[in-house]
Structure 1
């Protein structure tokens, strides 16, 4: 598809559907979001260098912004200031009180500065043109520093590039019969840190939902969306602080704190608080699991939401820090709600 013809299609679709978001327009036109942005290079979009770590280290200078990370069925938005930005060879971290991110930089391939209806943002995508993370300026942001950042990191060639088709979803999963269940159960029951769980999946060749199905007795049980919403409502009503994880293969965004205003609108279940918004598409949730993972600080309980392909949509924990046991208030809410 020629870029110019795609641009015409994009403009025509926007004119007929002014309230549609660009992600939905991309899906309707069967292209990626990044491809649509590249139709406005030289106008409202600037392509950035792929020095993403250097760009992210400059984000604290923008001050108060809104961070947005999403997958197909969950949007996680948090306002605040980027602080404590750091990188290792494998991942990046933003560890502020408000903006809390885990960044998997091998997935970051494209970056843009975008102006749309007066809103300015920095947007980052994978090689298939799927959005990984977006940073929106607010009325409190430092506009001068933003303009300087865009100037300094502007790519010399402002030309559209080819994005790759998204890889077909391939699950690394053995048959149940091939799993050494006694060894798997022992490994689960003797975990010292919840982060060991990913390594356990790789070691035994399990998908995440398969691991939950085959978990040792008492460590994973399936529940439902009604129970999940009841947990959220009780946490809201009792002001029990939680941790809400959501993201994609390039970024996980975390809210730590209370949730207050819960609103259901059509198929969406929402948290609409001043600093934190969550938008969760209920009809896409195929499974809800209550999962217990041992740690050196005691058992850690979470609720995990999955789509029909077994892909994680979001996770919910009680607020905690390493070295501290899980909140009794969180355990009480789970006992009351599940």
Structure 2
């Protein structure tokens, strides 16, 4: 929920301290919700108290992350949190879209949603936890980077010093984003042409372009898919996929996105733990926290490519927003793993 007025930073800080007295372990995103502001606004109110506003071109900042060595990258939405340990390498931009292609930190970047950046130091166990946090125009987090024991801390500190903004006013104006356009009625879609285009796809990356071409939402596309290309399955399928992939030692790909970043993990999953409403993967280099009770739709989806069909499990929230996508681990030019296809089609 966004504030409808300019929050007074000192008042917001007092409210945060009061909240933390009763719930010391509350996460920043939840604290902001409880206080009726965005996470970005709440963080900005703490400027001067372990928070520094950053300034500069965000694309250039991301390129500079390479000097840090190993860090932890975090991308999340309302229902899933994706954390990987690795390096920012093989970084490129084409206009406002970007790629990071390290085997562990594998990102798709959409820079039109990067509006605010902060360096943050928070008390953590016996020391201080350092992070870089980036937010959309409405104060929603798009991506975060955390210092680890393997990070070059001197390079990190130089980065913060070089990008510290002149304006350190403890304030962020969160602007409401444009509301989503209503879904076009199915009757107004050229379904025959849409299905023909789907059947003739050559690359999974062309799927989003097809949605735009025909003016359909993602869940609408799955409803209107060609026969045999999309099948709705149980909302428990995401947990089932993780459990079966673990049991079979099957490498998978897990995609979780914000408006400004899609973060991808490729590999096996090992330690699975249920903690309250969250189902978790807790491995040394990869953590996934999935609020699976918020999955409102789950679909097994087939997309043709030049390398053969590619199968995904796609899960959505009640608003039709993607929570996470699951694939069998694969590289371009290599056919899909038969074991993954069997697993997905058995759901």
TM-score above 0.5, yes or no: yes
| 2:48 counterpart (42, 60, 65) | 42
1:15 is aligned to 21
- C-alpha separation between the residues in 2 aligned to 1:228 and 1:52? 33
What CA deviation, in whole Å up to 9, does each residue of 1:64-112 have, x standing for no partner?
Answer: 1110000000000001111111211031111001101111011100000
> Which stretch of the first structure deviates more once superposed, 159-168 or 261-270?
159-168
- C-alpha separation between the residues in 1 aligned to 2:330 and 2:89? 20
Deviating beyond 3 angstroms after TM superposition, the runs of 4 or more aligned structure 1 residues are none
Runs of 5+ unmatched residues, structure 2: 1-6
Pick closer, same or farther for the CA change 1:269–1:314 going to 2, 3 Å: same
| 1:6 counterpart (6, 12, 21) | 12
Shift of 1:230: 2.2
Determine helix, strand or coil for the equivalent of 1:41.
coil
Is residue 237 of structure 2 the alignment partner of residue 227 of structure 1?
yes
- C-alpha separation between the residues in 2 aligned to 1:178 and 1:8? 52
Shift of 1:121: 0.5
What CA deviation, in whole Å up to 9, does each residue of 1:222-241 have, x standing for no partner?
Answer: 00133332222111111111
Once the two structures are superposed, the pairs formed by residues 93-242 of structure 1 within 5 Å of their partners are: 93-117=99-123, 118-167=128-177, 169-242=179-252
State whether residues 34 and 129 of structure 1, in contact with CA within 8 Å, keep that contact through their aligned partners in structure 2: yes
| 2:311 counterpart (301, 304, 312) | 301
Shift of 1:43: 2.2
- C-alpha separation between the residues in 1 aligned to 2:48 and 2:275? 37
TM-score if structure 2 supplies the norm length?
A: 0.94
Shift of 1:187: 0.7
RMSD: 1.3
State whether residues 107 and 127 of structure 1, in contact with CA within 8 Å, keep that contact through their aligned partners in structure 2: yes
- C-alpha separation between the residues in 1 aligned to 2:163 and 2:151? 19
- C-alpha separation between the residues in 2 aligned to 1:141 and 1:39? 28
| 1:248 counterpart (246, 254, 258) | 258
TM-score if structure 1 supplies the norm length?
A: 0.97
- C-alpha separation between the residues in 2 aligned to 1:304 and 1:334? 11
Shift of 1:161: 4.2
- C-alpha separation between the residues in 1 aligned to 2:143 and 2:169? 22
> Which stretch of the first structure deviates more once superposed, 262-271 or 247-256?
262-271
Runs of 5+ unmatched residues, structure 1: none
State whether residues 228 and 303 of structure 1, in contact with CA within 8 Å, keep that contact through their aligned partners in structure 2: yes
